[in-house]
Amino acid sequence: DTEVTQTPKHLVMGMTNKKSLKCEQHMGHRAMYWYKQKAKKPPELMFVYSYEKLSINESVPSRFSPECPNSSLLNLHLHALQPEDSALYLCASSQETGGLYNEQFFGPGTRLTVL
């Protein structure tokens, strides 16, 4: 299985809502990532988990809260978002061993709209 799955595909939420994005992979990858992508722009890294521990937080606002419950799952909890947070949220995974040349496998993304 070489697939990264993300749910939901689309999410519309108000600024006072709490919601979660989910990501799953069964490739045995121990590094998992959250990216934010605005239209016609490259992905921007948000968080990196390595062996279920948060290793990189790119100064992301606290209204975004990541969680890695186990080696296959990655969540992104959303609370009190702003309209400018509307974007495509991408999850990715890669092998942790062997160095930094391992490619990342991306999920299809969750299209988030904040009203």
Query: Which residues in this chain contact another protein in the complex, by CB under 8 A?
Result: 4, 6, 31, 40-43, 45, 48, 50, 55-56, 58, 88, 90, 92, 99-101, 103-109, 111
Q: Least Å distance between CB 45 and another protein? A: 5
Q: SS in 3 state form for 50-74?
A: ECCEEEEECCCCCCEEEEEEECCEE
Question: Residue 58 or residue 113: which is nearer to another protein going by CB?
Answer: 58
Q: Least Å distance between CB 51 and another protein? A: 12
Positive or negative, the Cα torsion across 39, 43, 46, 49?
A: positive
Question: Residue 75 or residue 80: which is nearer to another protein going by CB?
Answer: 75
Question: Residue 6 or residue 86: which is nearer to another protein going by CB?
Answer: 6
Structure tokens at 96: 């942790």
Positive or negative, the Cα torsion across 30, 74, 22, 40?
A: negative
Q: Least Å distance between CB 31 and another protein? A: 6
Q: Least Å distance between CB 7 and another protein? A: 13
Q: How far is residue 108's CA from residue 89's CA, in Å, rounded to a whole number?
A: 9
